[in-house]
């Protein structure tokens, strides 16, 4: 049995707390919101973000960060990406040397262009920062539907430990040393999912969605490889797998926000209606900044940024993508 602390009591934090409890581990869940903790203590259900998923009465819910961090064998950092740095800064005094912190949010910090594990390492140098990601919606994990993810870490020992803590008959976990590739795939797919949602909101069909997914993974892979990631990672669960589920699922908040924008809402109106953190909006500026830094062409992500922040219509963005200069699909393929 492992002592585990889940830092962040949103839908994903609560779903993963349920997995850890099901596996027989001691689980403490922390939230900065007193009213959220009171609700979870009283109802053992996140009635707003994960309705219908009942959480075990063995799980401890607390607003005392020290109690959720100090002495834990493993920490799950489930705060939204925009709050990763501020949360890590608050955790730092209670983290011991070598303590494992598993980042499960997906994003790139806009100001620094750092991945989330890089943010954690900067704020908590003593920590062993790792990542757990893949095609997974909290709603389905909470209902114990079969799900497969990847644990990424600098050492095989840490990745295999995370794998052993989380894995069960409905929650399969692979391991990978390519933390950077995993994090870039997980963050940038949210931006592509906004585009896929916009296409849905405009009433476009499966052809459009397939094109966005395929060309989207090409953009993500180009950037990731330039930054030092392994291209194989982007063909796997944390690349194309995560992209497919986020672009297609009714549970995807990024797709939902994009759909609302395709229907004519502004970015702010869409975020208010979704009423949950839309990670792709926070990652979009960082993504285009990385593209420019590494001189990588990212036309889909560029158009998404213009819709989000420059009042461009989604319909005009799709038109510009379709009317770009003629190109070969794979420049590495040669004619005989």
Q: Which residues are known to be catalytic? A: 189
| Residue among 126, 86, 79 at smallest CA distance from 103 | 79
For residue 307, what are the CA distances in angstroms to 119, 170, 264, 303? Answer: 28, 39, 11, 6
Three-class SS of residue 101?
A: strand
In contact, 123 and 77? CB cutoff 8 Å: no
Give the full edge-to-edge strand order of the sheet including 171-176: 60-62, 26-30, 3-7, 74-77, 100-103, 128-133, 147-152, 171-176
In contact, 5 and 102? CB cutoff 8 Å: no
DSSP type of residue 93: G
| Chain-centre distance for alpha carbon 18 | 18
> How many helices and strands in the chain, by DSSP H and E?
16, 8
| Residue among 148, 149, 85, 161 at smallest CA distance from 117 | 85
Return the structure tokens found at 104: 């499960």
User: Which residues is 108 bridged to in the sheet?
Assistant: 115
DSSP type of residue 177: S
In contact, 103 and 116? CB cutoff 8 Å: yes
Q: What is the rounded (10 degree) CA torsion for 28, 136, 308, 205?
A: -160
| Residue among 132, 307, 81 at smallest CA distance from 299 | 307
């Amino acid at each position: 049995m492992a002592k585990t602390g889940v830092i962040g009591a949103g839908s994903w934090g609560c779903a993963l707390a349920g997995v850890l409890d099901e596996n027989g581990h001691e689980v403490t869940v922390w939230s900065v919101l007193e009213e959220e903790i009171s609700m979870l203590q009283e109802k053992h259900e996140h009635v707003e973000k994960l309705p219908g998923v009942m959480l075990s009465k063995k799980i401890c819910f607390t607003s005392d960060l020290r109690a959720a961090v100090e002495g834990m064998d493993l920490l799950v950092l489930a705060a939204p990406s925009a709050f990763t740095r501020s949360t890590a800064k608050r955790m730092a005094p209670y983290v011991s040397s070598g303590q494992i912190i598993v980042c499960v949010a997906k994003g790139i910090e806009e100001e620094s262009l750092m991945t989330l594990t890089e943010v954690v390492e900067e704020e908590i140098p003593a920590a062993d920062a790792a990542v757990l990601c893949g095609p997974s919606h909290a709603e389905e994990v909470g209902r114990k539907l079969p799900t497969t993810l990847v644990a990424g870490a600098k050492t095989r020992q840490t990745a295999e430990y995370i794998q052993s803590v989380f894995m069960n008959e409905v929650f399969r976990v692979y391991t990978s040393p390519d933390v950077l590739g995993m994090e870039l795939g997980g963050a940038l797919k949210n931006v592509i999912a906004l585009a896929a949602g916009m296409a849905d909101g405009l009433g476009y069909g499966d052809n459009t969605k397939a094109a966005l997914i395929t060309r989207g993974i090409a953009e993500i892979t180009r950037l990731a490889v330039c930054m030092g990631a392994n291209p194989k990672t982007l063909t796997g669960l944390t690349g194309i797998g995560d992209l497919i589920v986020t672009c297609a699922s009714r549970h995807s908040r990024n797709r939902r926000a994009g759909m609302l924008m395709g229907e004519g809402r502004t970015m702010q109106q869409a975020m208010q209606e979704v009423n949950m953190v839309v990670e792709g909006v926070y990652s979009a500026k960082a993504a285009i900044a990385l593209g420019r830094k590494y001189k990588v062409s990212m036309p889909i992500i560029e158009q998404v940024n213009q819709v989000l922040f420059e009042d461009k219509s989604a319909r005009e963005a799709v038109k510009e993508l379709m009317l770009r200069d003629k190109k070969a699909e794979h420049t590495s393929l040669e004619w005989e």
